[in-house]
Amino acid sequence: MRPFTYARPDTLADAVALLAERGAEARVLAGGTDLIIRLRDGSVRPEVVVDVKRVPELAPGIRARDGGMLVIGATTTMTEIAAHPLIRRDVAGLAEAAAVVGSVQIRNRATLAGNLCNASPAADTAPSLLVHGAVVVAHGLAGERRIGLDDFFVRSGLTTLAPGELVVAIEIPASGHGRIASAHQRRTRRRGHDLASVTLACGLDATGLTRIAYGSVGPRPILRLDTTGVLAAAASTDEARTPIFEAIFADATPSVRSMRAGAEYRLAMLRVLGRRALATAQARLAAGE
Amino acid sequence: MTALDGTIGTSPNRVGGIDRVTGAQRYLADMSVTDALHAKLVTVPVARARVARIDGSAALALPGVRLVLTADDLPQPVPRFGPQNLDRPVLATGETKYHGDPVALVVADTREQAEAGVAAVHVDYKALPAVCTVAAALATGAPLVQDRSLRAKDPRRNTNVLNEHVVAWGDVEAAAAEPGLTIVERRYTFPMVTHFAIEPHAFMAAPDGDGVSVWSTIQHPNWLQKTIAGLTRLPLSKVRVYAPDPGGGFGGKQHAKYEPAVVFAALRLGRPVRLVLTLEETFQAVRRAACEARVRTGFTADGRIAFHDIEADYLIGAYTDIADRVVGKGSYPAAGPYNVPAVRIVARAILSHTVPSTAFRGFGNPQINWAVESTIDEGARVLGIDPVDVRLRNLARKGDRFIPFDTPCDGEWDQAVRKAAELIGWDTPCPPGRGRGIALGIKSGPTTGLSYSIVRLLADGSVVVYAGTSDMGQGARTVFAQIASHELGAPLDWITVVMGDTAIVPYDQQTSASRSTVLMGNAILAACRDIQAKLRSIAATQLGAADTDVTVAEGVVRLADGREFPIREVLAAGLGRLGGEITGLGEMRKEAEAGHPLSGAPAFFEFNCTAIEAEVDADTGDVTIDRHVTVSDVGKALNPLQVRMQDEGAAIMGLGHTLMEHYILDDEGRIRNLGAIDYRIPTSMDLPRELRSEAVENADGPGPYGSKGMSEGALLCVAPAVAAAVRDATGVAIRDLPLTPERVWRALQVGAAPGDAEGRR
């Protein structure tokens, strides 16, 4: 590991200023579960590592705002998310996804903002947050702005955050159509901690709008909607749903060179997981009403 | 029972166990000595390269960098070493032979400086065509992995076949020509896998007066001592090997790897040098041989095995290490624990431009047992005979010379088979969606051996045991202390077992082949009995009895008239005012046998029967092991808990190569899945829903109190038993490992081949 300077600013202003000043020389440290691996293998070689865990605005915590919005502090860990009663009740897919990230030890360290900012196509929390319409709250030299999560990811390792911008929180808005019931599914090579070869979430509301988001089959997670109501309708047959799924998954472009899973398998599993997540979301929607 | 009671057949707390689980144990990577420098390996990122020049000048200009050691800096010709053939250079010279073959060692004041130094070394190389599969290595015109000059007397020197091992009895072709046979012929493959010991391999060397000291995570300190003495031309007495308890070895730490390079660096610099491998580097240092096997087996209508015709090509690496012995010894009992009238086994060790394969728990048997047991299973299904019945009909019974010129069947093996079948509920209906499979396996124990032990009974009755075994987690310290406690009457916490220092501990050949309880255990037992004999004389003198009227056993001195004294009382009086101690010497020797293909018949067989109940998710290909039953013939469990832990450990390790583990090589022979992220081993979450380990104990082994070695058996049968269960559940046979979800899914997409689904339960 190459030596670097460790900085631990106490204020958001200091953190943002430092990041803006050092640009590509700086790396943000929250949970460190991605950063430390890359520091060790030399694939990132920062001059300065900026620990943001002392910045009050990024503090961990899950708060409900009036109107039903949930706000998750940037450094909230996967363990906290997976166990939180409001997340489990209202954002079930996210609770499921957070519960399978890494191992127990990793989940005790890994943060939600870190999982998003790392921008891995396989990030497990991304699909559930996408189907719930999550918004990233970022803070930079120019102040605060909100970025819809679908506008946040560019490709592996790259987001639309401007240089110097920090994610301070993730907002999960209340759906305009009442509760979204969601479910998460993934494929891995083993049950113990592993990176997903397909990660997928389905969200469903009472209007019959179905949202499916999936990752690890292209450069970034993808969100697609079914506005026909066919997926959601309990009476729909598999035959009726098949073309809808085909359209939803049409943008999946899994690598043919990956050693984690073959492209053909990933594409097939998208369809299996899509049906499974839909069935779970339907059951949850029905049970919640 | 208390934790201090060492009684044989009980399970006292593991000696050193608390330190292991609390992290207090000091592994070699935790140790250093004053002024130690840090070394890192320099490699080139291809499987094979011609190295024209290595320029270390830029590295040497960096702060802290002391040395860039290349083959040019070594005695010429570059010294070579290896437990079988002297074919591995201390550092690669002229040509690298596999992805990870080190060309230089950078030594610096800190590890970070050494890493920076490695990045600054300029290696001028040209990639050359490499052979990384059996087919490529055997192709006409394939590049030779080893230079002919290294194999000058070897008639196969113009090929990549290092050796061919043939075992045969009966007349296979005549047997195959008999009418009415059902003949099954199939091919099976087994991938390259690695040991993945949690403790990294680590090495340190320091000049020591007129000799050298070497620290290593080695399993065989005496082997290492001999290797270093040979390379440095020092007498054995001037090479001191420290071998702290390893954190897992599994065979991967048996023989020297980078110790010689570290020794040459330390001697050149006149300072201690240490090298701790990363996990990635460990993958490039040790692995198990891959195998492609063809099995042709004939069955009579009533399920008797009429013949086995077995060919196995083991893909070994670029240097022999112990791989040829693995091929020879592992394939030798390939016909299984059965009475088969005609057998032909041809096993070849094929050199390739890959990581040198070495000893690995099971020692060449799991690869071939996967193929042979799967073939027997298929035969049973084709014949419509229950797979358990087929095996029992052919199984050797005690005393049977099932391998005609070898150790006869040495256990009540049918008891293990019946127990496993009973525990899995073989005769009960299988729950819907699940399948069951069963497999048997044997492995030859040590064929030669030499272990010495010194035991000192100190004046207060406490005991010091010297044993050259390495306790790498298998629990040797505990069992040795139990033997001494049992024989000499000292509580366990009054016993110290000293290991891992060749200047202090007497010679032991090696820690391998599940030998230590039997061979070192017998040496310790003999040393304790030596002490008992001396005590008998002391007691006779002291108590005015004839020697012949005194017995000493299990910590107690008994006279013919019925009087009994604890050893400690007799000892205190007998040693007198000056105190002192009684020293016992024990030796256990298993000589080589001239003319035996393995240089000797095994001291015992490890026998295991594994039964599996599994379910398969047809949509995803996931295999879930619902129930995993393993039953091993252990002779006598000296410590039943440790026996179970070894058996379970072997079973779980077997699940690794069965379900998920394999090296993935790119077209250029580079390992793509170096490290923990993309090489998956089972975690606690991947264990069977129920794992049941039981032992058969008839006290019929050659070790102390009737024990046998048993640490590898439960690994032998996992793959064939799981694959049989998958086939039972789905009707689809899969003949390549591992049974990853994707592979199972693909097989299910293709569907059952004609005949695959026959005999489905």
pLDDT tens, position by position, B699-716: 999 999 999 999 999 999
What CATH number is associated with residue A15?
Answer: 3.30.43.10
CB atoms within 10 A of CB B520: 30
- Closest CA of chain B from A17, distance in Å: 30
Torsion of CA B576, B580, B581, B587, to 10 degrees: -130
B34 in A contact zone (CB under 8 Å): no
The answer to whether residue B761 scores a pLDDT higher than 70 is: no
Residue A131 lies in a domain: no
How many Cα atoms within 13 Å fall on the side-chain side of residue B469? 33
Task: Report the percentage of chain B scoring pLDDT > 70.
Answer: 98
Residues B552 and B606 in one domain: no
pLDDT at B647 over 50: yes
Is B745 in Cβ contact with A2 (below 8 Å)? no
Q: How far is A76 from chain B (nearest CA, A)?
A: 24
What six digits make up the tokens of B761? 């339960």
Asked which of A53, A74, A95 is the last residue of a domain, the reply is: A53
A189: pLDDT strictly greater than 80? yes
**Mean of the pLDDT values across residues B539-550?**
91
- The verdict on A103 touching B (C-beta cutoff 8 Å) is yes
pLDDT digits (tens, 9 = 90+) for B457-483: 999 999 999 999 999 999 999 999 999
Residue B233: give its domain's CATH number.
3.90.1170.50
Clarify whether residues B579 and B677 are in a common domain: no
pLDDT of residue B136: 98
pLDDT band at A227 (very low <50, low <70, confident <90, very high): very high
Q: How many domains, chain B?
A: 3
Domain CATH number, residue B564:
3.30.365.10
- The residue segments making up the domain with residue A213 are 181-287
Question: Is residue B8 in some structural domain?
Answer: no
Mean pLDDT score, B283-299: 98
Residue A66 lies in a domain: no
pLDDT band at A1 (very low <50, low <70, confident <90, very high): confident
The closest CB to that of B620, out of A192, A195, A269, belongs to A269
Alpha-carbon distance A94 to A83, whole Å?
11
Residues of B in contact with A265 (CB under 8 A): 742, 745-746
Whether B546 is covered by a domain: the verdict is yes
B360 and B386 part of one domain: yes
For residues A123 and B195, what is the distance between their CA atoms, to the nearest angstrom? Answer: 30
Residue type, B471: D
Give the domain-ending residue among B574, B590, B606: B590
Q: Which of B491, B575, B590 is nearest to B539 (CA)?
A: B575
Q: Hunting for tokens 């040979």 — which residue is that?
A: B230
B655 CA: distance to closest CA in chain A (Å): 11
Pair B270, B300 in one domain? no
Which of B196, B280, B619 is most worth mutating to test chain A (most A CB atoms within 10 A of its CB)?
Answer: B619
Across the range B15-42, mean pLDDT stands at 95
What is the model's pLDDT at position B497?
98
With CA atoms as reference, the chain A residue closest to B688 would be A191
Q: List the single residue in A192, A194, A260 with the smallest CB-CB distance to B684.
A: A192
Predicted local distance difference test score (pLDDT) of residue B4 = 59
């920062």: which residue's tokens?
A: A46
What's the CA gap between B638 and B525, in Å, rounded? 13
Q: What pLDDT, on a 0 to 100 scale, did the predictor assign at position B48?
A: 98
The rounded distance, in Å, linking the Cα atoms of B552 and B538 is 11
Whether omega before B640 lies within 30 degrees of 0, making that bond cis, reads no
Look at residue A177 in the predicted model and tell me its pLDDT.
Answer: 73
Question: Has residue A195 been placed in a domain?
Answer: yes
Number of domains in chain A: 2
Question: Contact B680/A189, CB-based, under 8 Å?
Answer: yes
Q: What is the pLDDT of residues B429-444, one digit of tens each?
A: 999 889 999 999 999 9
How many CB atoms neighbour CB B544 within 10 A? 9
Structural domain boundaries enclosing B472: 17-25+449-590
Inter-chain residue contact A265 with B680, CB threshold 8 Å = no
Q: Residue A161 above 90 pLDDT?
A: yes
Any domain includes A142: no
Verify whether the Cβ–Cβ distance B680 to A190 is below 8 Å: yes
Distance CA B148, CA B156 (A): 9
The verdict on residue B760 lying in a domain is no
Whether residues A1 and B112 touch (CB distance < 8 A) is answered with yes
Instruction: Give B619's contacts in chain A (Cβ within 8 Å).
Output: 272
pTM above threshold 0.80: yes
Helix (H, G, I), strand (E, B) or coil at B455: strand
Q: Are residues A193 and B686, on separate chains, in Cβ contact within 8 Å?
A: no
Which band of pLDDT confidence, cut at 50, 70 and 90, is reported for residue A175? Answer: confident
Q: Are residues B339 and B375 in the same domain?
A: yes
Are B716 and B568 part of one and the same domain? Answer: no
Task: Using a CB–CB cutoff of 8 Å, tell me whether A51 touches chain B.
Answer: no
Any residues with CB less than 8 A from the CB of B116 and at least 6 apart, and which? Answer: A2, B59, B62, B65, B108
Of B563, B590, B617, the residue that ends a domain is B590
Of A176, A239, A237, nearest to A211 by C-alpha is A176
Specify the residue for token string 């301070």.
A168
Beta strand ranges found along B618-687 (DSSP E): 623-633
Mean pLDDT of chain B, nearest integer: 96
pLDDT at residue B1 in the model: 39
pLDDT single digits (tens) A253-274: 999 999 999 999 999 999 999 9
In a domain, B353, yes or no: yes
Residues B423 and B538 in one domain: no
Q: B228 and B93, same structural domain?
A: yes
ipTM of the shown complex? 0.96
Confidence of residue B2 (pLDDT cuts 50, 70, 90): very low
The kind and range of the H/E element at B195 are none
Angle in degrees, CA B722, B726, B729, rounded to 5: 135
Q: Is the pLDDT of residue A158 over 60?
A: yes
Annotated catalytic residues of B are 712
The CATH number covering residue A264 comes to 3.30.390.50
CB contact under 8 A, B619 and A195: no
- Tell me whether residue A209 is in a domain: yes
Residue A119 forms part of a structural domain: no
Shared-domain flag, residues B307 and B353: yes
Same domain? B204 vs B278: yes
- Cis peptide, bond prior to residue B77, ω within 30 of zero: yes
pLDDT of residue A41: 86
Residue among A188, A195, A164, A162 nearest A273 (CA): A188
Q: Does B112 touch chain A (CB under 8 A)?
A: yes
A31 lies in a domain?
yes
Do residues B228 and B345 share a domain? no
Mean pLDDT calculated for residue range B254-283: 98
Q: Which of B236, B268, B283 is the last residue of a domain?
A: B283
- Looking at chain B, the whole-number percentage of residues with pLDDT higher than 90 is 94
B-chain CB neighbours of A1 within 8 Å are: 112, 115
Taken as a whole, chain A contains a residue count of 289
B745 and A268 within 8 Å at the Cβ level: the answer is yes
Residues B502, B425, single domain; the answer is no
From the CA atom positions of chain B, what is the Rg in Å? Answer: 27
Last residue of a domain, one of A53, A74, A89: A53
Note whether residue A127 is domain-resident. Answer: no
Please check the confidence at residue B759 and state whether its pLDDT lies above 90: no
